[in-house]
Amino acid sequence: MSKTFRAWKIDEPLLLPPVVQEFVAKDHLARFVLNLVREEIELAEITASYDSDRGQPPFDPVMMTALLLYSYCCGIYASRRIAKACRERVDFMSIVGFDAPDFRTVSEFRRRHLKALGALFKQILHLCETAGLVKLGHVALDGTKVKANASKHKAMSYERMEKRAAELEAEGARWLKVAEASDAAEDKLARPRPNWRRRRRRRPKPSSKRRPRRNNSARPKGARSPDGKPPRPRPRPTPKPRRTSPIRRAGS
């Protein structure tokens, strides 16, 4: 008796259109980052820079900020890898939907709003630490274990707050620096190889100037050369043998 397997319905169409938020669980990091950027972060500085109606409409700054934050939390910094993940990974699709941005768009958004993103990432990390998160993806926020509310580690002094704010700011700046270096490395690898045949050293073209001929009209015919030797007679060219056709004429 053969074993019965579950039906594999890979080609079956869905009755209702899918929602990208259902691709991941409710407690997934992608949902947390998206809700955090949507509800807790003010992006007025970034949105105010789009004051022109020329060209194609850009991507939503909220979506692009959430995409960069989630990518950096997952340890993905290169723009090409972020764009590839938007097309292949469902957790990235839950943020960008089915309209994935190109890697040039991701890189240009980061370069254009570099200063604002650094301040936003610092604010986001501070909010996550305040909420009690020990880790945000691959980023460790605080490894201190608190046993009770009255623990001495629970209260933070002013100096400790300033030091921690500087650490969070440095962490956000490190994200952007690593992203810039990763893009530079990816661009160097994706750049087409030079054609060495074209760069090969070409031979110099022959000059159009002709060498001046010797003036032998001043020397009389049969005169000796300056060293006293008689002139050499020119060798006569040997006549070439006449070729006979192997085909005989008719009647010969």
Write out pLDDT tens, residues 168-183: 777 778 888 888 888 8
92 has a pLDDT exceeding 50: yes
Residue in this structure with the two tokens 């080609």, named with its chain if needed: 11
134 has a pLDDT exceeding 70: no
Report whether 94 contacts 32 (CB < 8 A): no
Query: Could you tell me which residue, 53 or 68, shows the higher pLDDT?
Result: 68
SS3 139: strand
Return the axis-axis angle of helices 158-190 and 61-73, rounded to nearest 10°: 90
Residue in this structure with the two tokens 């958004």, named with its chain if needed: 109
Which two three-digit tokens encode residue 177? Answer: 């620096």
Q: Whole-angstrom Cα distance, residue 120 to residue 46?
A: 10
SS3 162: helix
Which two three-digit tokens encode residue 14? Answer: 């869905």
